[in-house]
Structure 1
Amino acid sequence: MDEDYRLGETIKELRIQNHLTQNQVAQVLGVTPGYVSNVENNRIAMSLHKLAAYAKLVGVSIDYLVGTADENYSANGIDYEILNEVRKLEEKDKVKLLKTIKLWRKK
């Protein structure tokens, strides 16, 4: 595979950020942990169906996972990454974050 192709690395980073093991990901996707390892090490590529299921599991878009050739879509990955991080917050912290964002936007 092309050495600039980072899909496996991105998949691994998101798995770790979401505190998931290869076994847990494999179970959700209906594959073996070895398959997940092979994907993370760019030895094989996920099917679109598996890629969509993985994106849903870690709370990102497929665009975010594979990158996009169209500059107009570049914000999608950032939006999903922000949403993914916000989902991890406790409710009280979400309220604080919302207040902070509203104050920041007024400037």
Structure 2
Amino acid sequence: MGFGERIKELRVQKKLTQSELAKMVGLTYIQIGRYETQKSNPSSDVLQKLANALDTTGDYLMNGSNDEVIATQLTDKELLKQFKAVEQLNAEDKHLIKTFIDAFLTKRQVQKLAH
């Protein structure tokens, strides 16, 4: 199931029309239709508004999986927020950030071994 299908499924479950959902998030029903047919993807702001209106998470809408399990395992909420922001980046930027994290963790492991 894709992003658009998940939006439509949740909207129908909540017995909302496209117009009603659009009004809740400050869009037009035409834009909701574009999302549901996957002709357009929302900005991160709109994604969050859609998630709130549909009582779900942006992660579920985009990927079909809830991040609640991760959230309960990761106690640093600021770090979780940063990871969510990184997920929205393009592949090249994600790779760069992963490289920085890996380099930092490797440095720490080497420092521990030296002591």
Is there any run of 5+ residues in structure 2 with no aligned partner, and where? 71-115
Q: How far does residue 75 in structure 1 lie from its aligned partner after superposition? A: 4.3
Bigger radius of gyration, 1 or 2?
2
Cα distance in 2 for partners of 1:67, 1:9 equals 11
**TM-score of the superposition, structure 2-length normalised?**
0.54
**Superposition RMSD on alpha carbons, in Å?**
2.4
Counterpart selection for 1:47 from 27, 43, 49: 43
Between the two proteins, what is the percent identity of the paired residues?
30
Cα distance in 2 for partners of 1:18, 1:75 equals 24
Cα distance in 1 for partners of 2:64, 2:30 equals 27
How many corresponding residue pairs?
70
Is there any run of 5+ residues in structure 1 with no aligned partner, and where? 77-107
Q: Does 1:67 align with 2:58?
A: no
Cα distance in 2 for partners of 1:58, 1:10 equals 10
**TM-score of the superposition, structure 1-length normalised?**
0.58
